[in-house]
Amino acid sequence: MEVYAVGMKIVDLRVYPVKSCRGRSVETATIAARGFQSDRRAMIVAQDGSFVSQRTHPNLTQIEVDCTSGMSLSVEGQDVNVSFERDRKTVRVWNDEVSARIADEAVNSILSEFLGEPVCLVSMDDASHRTTSTAFGAENAVSFADGFPYLITTTASLRALGETAGEEIPMDRFRSNIVIETETPWIEDSWSTLDIDGVKFDLVKPCTRCVMTTLDQKTGKQVGKTTMEALIKTRARSGDWGKGVVFGVNAIARTVGGTISRGMTVRAE
């Protein structure tokens, strides 16, 4: 099997401590079965337990999260430290139900006022259990991410998409965990595995995209439909994994416990 290794390296690593809130770029990330350590282990839910996302609440992009020591949120310039209570709540991510710990009332009050409806912040702990769909292979642990622990994108594919759109498209609209510098657009379509300094990933399925690709991740404002239109022109797909437009690849870590850093060489097969 041919190995694609020339000119490939990690140029960005990102974590999203609270699902659908602003992401953070990091130099080094620790590999865990559910995804990067601290990635999407918390999320905001409505009163009925369903998750709240940028699809309906684009102002989530304005919530900054810091997990350097514990968790703190910055909401409209107001900084608040987060603690999670013993109380638990059954919450939903798409069709999955998960038992999660509820954050303290002070945090939930601030978030509810900001989002204009009663919500609460919840967190995964060791008692929380959620797995990926077995339709794409073995059952694997996953965080509050939409479907899989890791999302990988490439720079050459982003450039090609921008050329189709007729404008530069920021990578942060795709909310990936690992960004790989590449020379050939869409080369990731042919990959099945990645090796990053001995840390191995299995690439499971293309990532289906939605309206969030049209949102400015710094302002939360919709900046036009050119991204989605370019995806429809070039990346409409259907198959066993479903029908839609795709960008990036969902992945599962085969090696858990190690770390990866920006600048590391990537080998793909």
**71, 138 Cβ separation under 8 angstroms:** no
Query: What is the share, in percent, of the chain residues with pLDDT greater than 90?
Result: 89
Give the H or E element holding residue 155. helix 155-165
| Residue (of 262, 197, 183) closest to 11 by Cα position | 262
**Domains in the chain: ranges and CATH:** 9-35+132-268 (2.40.33.20), 42-123 (no CATH)
pLDDT at 238 over 60: yes
pLDDT digits (tens, 9 = 90+) for 197-215: 999 999 999 999 999 999 9
What is the side-by-side order of every strand in the sheet holding 96-103?
Answer: 42-46, 119-123, 96-103, 84-93
Rounded to an integer, the average pLDDT of 123-141 is 86
Query: What is the share, in percent, of the chain residues with pLDDT greater than 70?
Result: 94
Better-scored residue on pLDDT, 133 or 36: 36
Least confident of 4-8, 39-43, 144-148, 178-182: 4-8
Kindly report the pTM of this predicted structure: 0.95
